[in-house]
Chain A
């Protein structure tokens, strides 16, 4: 067996209480705009989701004080930040570092490789996750870049900073 000492995810952060609620409220308008834009520009991804358009996905970036709740229903799109003590019952949960999620959306990281290395954790309905992954992967280019571009030069600067941070973090062991 191959052991990678850097692979294990940090302990689950609390993500509850007043700070989590405030942070979730602050990012909500951004999330709403991003998901509406992506859905409008890439309508074909809904077909790949098939019966899982109504599934409640919880995307849990471990460094964040909150998690994200996605229901990719084209008729009633939902993407919101939720404190961890107020999450809905999830059809499927995907957990990992935010910067790793960014790499997946940036078309730099392979989801299977992230799963093998235990950087990505999946629970719940595996088929739902596989469909979501395949739907997002059929988008040309980088969704992260598209989202950043919506916010002009500041958006691009933040994405550039996050990318640099990710590659710096990934450098020491070269393991991602």
Chain B
């Protein structure tokens, strides 16, 4: 049986301590700049905060993984190199990278630190994954959320590194690492600036008369919610749009759903998945505490041969929509 490590998100030092205390095996986080894909205002760590966070986590047997999972624009690699040097000095347990140049720099400069391949690299075939393993010494791949469990099992047999899969959280995937929708509307790149739908470009407009709320990105209305309708993130991929054949407006790309693989945990472990990732560095301590502690119990139960109380986990997405996505079937869209 695989170790089934629980990899948990932290957007602030307090969230990191919450995740550690709730039973995370490892916590992933990033610096306050474009080197990671959650470059949100007021989020993330200064080098001093990360140093204290690593000490807190290590004292409790928890690993810290540093996300350097964006792509440096041409001629601007120094920010990523500097972040890698700082992370290595602080003693992070692994770097999560997407860009080959960043991977190469770390492999040469800090060969003692593990490299994990980010979902942003979108490596979904054994050939692609082996390329990163052979050339940069990647020890673990975070698989894109487009594979079924039988496909994951097959890949596992064909690659010489560990596999990590997402099990819970926001499910905006498109072609991971290659989405340019935000760039198109705002000029900022998810993959290079680290932010999808930058908050500075988001505006919520409420119609006092009808109670409707519109979410707008840089002046474009991407969705409009009735007074009693659930809202979603203001991401373009989850907006509702009109088209000649759908004048009423429809989800043209994705639906606002959360991934929840709690029911599939035993199958994933059996398929050889080494680590389970929970999405949500932008979420609160309250989210981190409840999701991490619930999955901690479930994974421990499964590893001890007990039946996990899955209902607990299903309740975490209560009132929202959830999916098992491609992990269950390729027909999910």
**A residues lining the B interface (CB < 8 Å):** 1-5, 7-8, 12, 47-50, 104, 107-113, 115-118, 121-123, 126-127, 129-135, 137-140, 174-175
Within 8 A of A (CB), among B287-305: 287, 289
Q: How far is the CA of A116 from the CA of B287 in the complex (A)?
A: 14
Q: Determine if B200 and A127 form an interchain contact, defined as CB atoms under 8 angstroms apart.
A: yes
On whether the beta carbons of A2 and B319 are closer than 8 Å, the reply is: yes
A4-B228, A115-B231, A117-B319 known; A134-B12 Cβ under 8 A = yes
User: Would you call B228 and A3 a contact (CB within 8 A)?
Assistant: yes
**Chain B contacts of A129 at CB under 8 A?**
199
Dominant secondary structure at the B interface: loop
Give A155 Cβ to nearest chain B Cβ, in Å: 22
> Within 8 Å of chain A (Cβ to Cβ): is B105?
no
When A111-B284, A126-B199 are in contact, do A118 and B42 touch as well, CB less than 8 Å?
Answer: no
Q: In the complex, which residue of chain B has the Cβ closest to the Cβ of A140?
A: B14
Within the complex, what minimum Cβ distance (angstroms) separates B259 from chain A?
15
Instruction: For B78, list chain A residues within 8 Å (CB).
Output: none
Q: Are B287 and A112 in contact (CB under 8 A)?
A: yes
Which of A8, A109, A115, A137 is in CB contact (< 8 Å) with B14? Answer: A137
Chain B residues with CB below 8 A from A7, complex form:
228, 230
Query: CA–CA, A4 to B318, complex, Å?
Result: 11
Counting chain B CB atoms within 10 Å of each CB, the highest count among A3, A5, A116, A135 belongs to A116
- A50 and B318: CB pair below 8 A? no
The interface residues of chain B lying within 8 Å CB-to-CB of A47 are: 46
Minimal beta-carbon separation of A53 from chain B (angstroms)? 11
In angstroms, Cα B284 to Cα A132, docked, is 12
Contact of B42 among A117, A122, A123, A130 (CB under 8 A): A130
* In the complex with contacts A130-B40, A135-B42, A110-B228 CB distance below 8 A: no
B202 at interface by CB-CB < 8 Å: yes
The 7 closest A-B pairs by CB, nearest first: A134-B42, A131-B42, A138-B12, A127-B199, A48-B42, A110-B287, A126-B202
Q: Is B177 an interface residue (CB 8 A)?
A: no
Tell me the complex Cα distance, A38–B247, Å: 51
Does A50 contact B41, Cβ atoms closer than 8 Å?
yes
Q: How far is the CA of A12 from the CA of B13 in the complex (A)?
A: 37
Which partner residue on chain A sits nearest B217 by CB separation? A126
